[in-house]
Amino acid sequence: MSALLAVRDLTVTFETTAGAVAAVDALSFDIGPGEFLGIVGESGSGKSVTALAAMGLVVAPGRIAQGSIRLGGEELVGLPERSMRRIRGRRMAMVFQEPMASLNPVMRIGDQIAEAIRWHEDVSARAAAARAVDLLGTVGIPAPAERARAYPQQMSGGMRQRAMIAMAIACSPALLIADEPTTALDVTVQAQIMDLLRSLRERFGMALLLITHDLGLVAEQADRVLVMYAGRMVEEAPTASLFARPLHPYSAGLLDSIPDIEIRRPVLPAIEGVVPSLSALPPGCRFGPRCRFAEPACTTADPPLRRFGVRATACRRDLDLARA
């Protein structure tokens, strides 16, 4: 299966007063056509920067220092903004955490969607407006013709996120990137949006890249999961395998530390310490200082990512853990 999106050795650096720091460090992964990939990480893990890099939206003081991002074989790194604009929205699109920040508050929802269509397709204003209404219906907005005339602030958070999704899928992109699409929403609305994303993916056959801090969201729906920590990928696995047997101590710790609604434990097995600052990374393995299994050797070299069939982990002890 040839990859739809192929990211190789991607490094994104940010210039800060303390020098350049790598928010994403030598990251490689693939997304197949129609696949649902989840990227999980905490703040500072580089998950959102990865999404922005794929969309060609990394702006100063950030820059793609090295690596390649190919969409359907076409190299995106170094592509001029003009060409990138043609790809963005048409072949891949993105949905953000806070829809209000991405919508123009003084423009009607329907007009914004129609405008997005007309950037990419040579259609009449009337046809674009009709399609905008259709799209609002597709994403489950009741009375779409009426809601198309509403302004963003007249809609609830869930409806705005649906409108954003409608805009994103307007030109039937092959890849939809969703960065924390439900974090700002209530739990019952979150369930609706996740259901919507799943049904759209089945209906249009698009690939979905979900960026989230919530393992529960990827557990239920993703085909495959990447776990990121402090700019590095630490583990990659099919969802079921990851949850059944995480190989990296960080993934294992993360899974353990989340309270589950159905199982109550006296003490949560928390990961001690804090996520390191990117400008003051520990020597050797970045997770080393917080790792229960750390050995002296873990502080000497940053362990490379090693692959075992469909799985990969960046831990020296991976084999022990796999056997355990």
The residues that touch other proteins, with contacts defined as CB under 8 A, are 17, 42-43, 156-159, 186-192, 194-195, 213-217, 219-221, 239-240, 243-244, 253-255, 257-262, 264-272, 274-275, 290
Query: Please, what is the minimum distance in Å from the beta carbon of residue 271 to other proteins?
Result: 4
Neighbour count for residue 282 (Cβ, 10 Å): 16
Instruction: Pick between residue 98 and residue 115 the one whose CB is nearest to other proteins.
Output: 98
Instruction: Pick between residue 136 and residue 215 the one whose CB is nearest to other proteins.
Output: 215
At 240, which helix (H) or strand (E)? helix 239-244
Query: Please, what is the minimum distance in Å from the beta carbon of residue 218 to other proteins?
Result: 9
Where do runs of H (alpha helix) occur along 157-186? 157-168
Q: Are 25 and 13 in contact (CB under 8 A)?
A: no
Instruction: Pick between residue 72 and residue 137 the one whose CB is nearest to other proteins.
Output: 137
Instruction: Pick between residue 28 and residue 221 the one whose CB is nearest to other proteins.
Output: 221
Q: Are 178 and 210 in contact (CB under 8 A)?
A: yes
Paired strand residues for 225: 38, 237
Instruction: Pick between residue 7 and residue 184 the one whose CB is nearest to other proteins.
Output: 184
In the block, which residue shows the tokens 């592509």?
Answer: 79
Query: Please, what is the minimum distance in Å from the beta carbon of residue 253 to other proteins?
Result: 7
At 215, which helix (H) or strand (E)? helix 215-221
Instruction: Pick between residue 90 and residue 160 the one whose CB is nearest to other proteins.
Output: 160
Among 131, 127, 139, 129, smallest CA distance to 108 is for 129
Query: Please, what is the minimum distance in Å from the beta carbon of residue 216 to other proteins?
Result: 3
Query: Please, what is the minimum distance in Å from the beta carbon of residue 259 to other proteins?
Result: 4
CA pseudo-torsion sign 165, 168, 170, 174:
negative
Query: Please, what is the minimum distance in Å from the beta carbon of residue 79 to other proteins?
Result: 29
Cis peptide bond prior to 303, omega within 30° of 0:
no
Q: Rounded distance, CA 293 to CA 324, Å?
A: 13
Instruction: Pick between residue 56 and residue 253 the one whose CB is nearest to other proteins.
Output: 253
SS3 6: strand
Among 77, 80, 73, 81, smallest CA distance to 63 is for 77
Q: Are 53 and 69 in contact (CB under 8 A)?
A: yes
Query: Please, what is the minimum distance in Å from the beta carbon of residue 86 to other proteins?
Result: 33
